C-alpha cells in the first residue's frame, strides 16, 4: 500500500472562522497506481495533496505514505521524507529565480546530503531526460513556462521518489506542452513503478493519465471510480 488515509480531517481557524477543508477523508492507493483527485476549487484536493506530501499535518486522522506514518515523523524525518520519498510538482513551478535550472534540480539532493559531484551528475541526467540538456545553466526567467515546468518535473523526480504528487502540473501550460510534461511524469511512473496522485479539474487529463478518479466535494469523497 503506497498511500493510506484514515478519517483525515483538516480544519482551519476556530469558532465563526472555522473552515473544514477535509472532513474525514479515507483513501487507499496501491503501489504503482495512478490516481486523479478531481474537484472544484475549494473542494480540498490541494489540501489533501499537501498532507500527502508532508507539507502540512492533518487536524486528525491517520496518514501513511510510502511506508511512513506521517503523524509519527519528527520535523527532521518529515523533511527527509519530502526530499526522498515523495516528489511534488506544483502548478506554478516554484523554482528559485536566482538559481540556474541545474541548481534548482539539485536542491532536494543538497538537503538530502548527497555529494556535489554525485548530485550534479544526477541533476544533469534528469534535465537531459526532460529535454533540457542545452538549458541547464539558464535561470527560470530565461526559460518558457513549459521549460520551467520540465525543470520542476526533473527536480521532483531526480531523487526517484516512490510517490509522485502533482498539483495541477499542466494548469499554466498550453495543451501541447501539457501533453509533453504529463508524458514525462508518466514515463517516470511507469519506469520506476511509482505511485501517482494527480490533482486536476480537467476530466480529460484525469481520464487519459490515471486509472482511478477520486472526486472531492466540500472536503468529502463524493466518488471513487476506476
Partner 1 sequence: MRWFDLLLWALAALGQQKLRTSLTTLGVLFGAFVLAASLSINEGVQETIQREASKGDASRKVTVYPSWRAKRGSNQDEVKVKGRMSPDRRERIRKALADGGGRGGAAERVDLTSDRLETLARLPHVRRLIPIVGGQVVATLGNRPEDASVSSGAGEDPEFRRQIVAGRAFEAEDERSVLLSEMFAYRIGLVDDADIAQVIGKPLRIELWSPEEGPSFEVSLAGRSRGGRGRDEWLALRQLAWQIPAMLDQFRLTGDERSILEKAIRRPSATPAPPSVADDYRVVGIFRALTHEEDKDAWSRFPAGTDLILPRQTAVDLFFRDPARRKEGLAHAVLLIDDMRNVKEVVDRVEALGLRSESIVRFVERERLTYLLIFGGMTCVAAVALLVSALGIANTMLMSVLQRRREIGIMKAVGAADWQLQALFLVEGGLIGLIGGASGLLLAWTISFPGDAWVRSMVRRDMQIDLSGSIFAFPTRIALIVLFFTIGVTVVAALYPARRASKVDPVTALRHD
- Please report, as residue ranges, which positions from 87 to 146 form the binding site for partner 1 (by CB under 8 A): 88, 90, 92, 94-96, 98, 107-108, 110-113, 115-116
- Please report, as residue ranges, which positions from 141 to 180 form the binding site for partner 1 (by CB under 8 A): 155
CB of 212 to partner 1, least distance (A): 25
Per-residue contact track with partner 1, 42 to 81, x per CB under 8 A?
--------x--x-xx------------------xx--xx-
| Interface with partner 1 (CB under 8 A), residue from 84, 131, 202, 218 | 84
Q: Which is nearer to partner 1, 11 or 55 (CB)?
A: 55
CB of 18 to partner 1, least distance (A): 18
| Residue whose C-alpha cell reads 472532513 in the numeric block | 23
Residues 6+ apart with CB under 8 A from 136: 100, 101, 102, 124, 127
CB of 223 to partner 1, least distance (A): 26
CB of 79 to partner 1, least distance (A): 4
Determine phi and psi for 125, rounding to 5 degrees: -60, -45
Q: Which is nearer to partner 1, 34 or 155 (CB)?
A: 155
Q: Which is nearer to partner 1, 113 or 226 (CB)?
A: 113
CB atoms within 10 A of CB 183: 12
* Footprint on this chain of partner 1 (rule: CB under 8 A): 50, 53, 55-56, 75-76, 79-80, 82-84, 88, 90, 92, 94-96, 98, 107-108, 110-113, 115-116, 155
Amino acid at each position: 500500500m503506497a498511500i493510506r488515509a484514515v478519517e483525515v480531517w483538516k480544519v482551519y481557524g476556530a469558532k465563526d472562522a472555522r473552515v473544514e477543508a477535509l472532513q474525514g477523508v479515507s483513501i487507499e492507493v496501491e503501489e504503482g497506481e495512478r490516481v486523479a483527485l478531481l474537484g472544484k476549487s475549494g473542494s480540498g484536493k490541494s489540501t489533501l495533496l499537501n498532507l500527502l506530501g508532508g507539507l502540512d499535518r492533518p487536524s486528525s486522522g491517520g496518514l501513511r505514505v510510502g511506508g511512513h506514518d506521517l503523524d509519527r515523523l519528527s520535523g527532521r524525518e518529515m523533511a527527509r521524507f519530502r526530499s526522498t520519498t515523495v516528489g511534488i510538482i506544483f502548478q506554478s513551478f516554484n523554482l528559485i529565480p536566482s538559481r540556474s535550472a541545474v541548481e534548482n534540480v539539485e536542491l532536494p539532493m543538497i538537503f538530502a546530503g548527497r555529494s556535489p559531484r554525485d548530485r550534479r551528475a544526477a541533476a544533469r541526467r534528469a534535465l537531459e531526460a526532460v529535454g533540457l540538456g542545452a538549458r541547464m545553466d539558464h535561470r527560470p526567467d530565461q526559460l518558457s513556462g513549459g521549460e520551467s515546468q520540465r525543470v520542476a518535473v526533473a527536480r521532483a523526480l531526480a531523487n526517484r521518489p516512490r510517490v509522485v504528487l502533482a498539483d495541477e502540473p499542466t494548469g499554466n501550460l498550453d495543451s501541447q506542452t501539457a501533453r509533453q510534461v504529463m508524458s514525462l511524469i508518466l514515463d517516470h511512473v511507469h519506469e520506476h513503478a511509482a505511485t501517482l496522485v494527480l490533482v486536476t479539474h480537467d476530466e480529460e487529463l484525469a481520464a487519459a493519465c490515471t486509472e482511478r478518479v477520486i472526486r472531492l466535494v466540500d472536503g468529502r469523497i463524493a466518488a471513487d471510480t476506476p
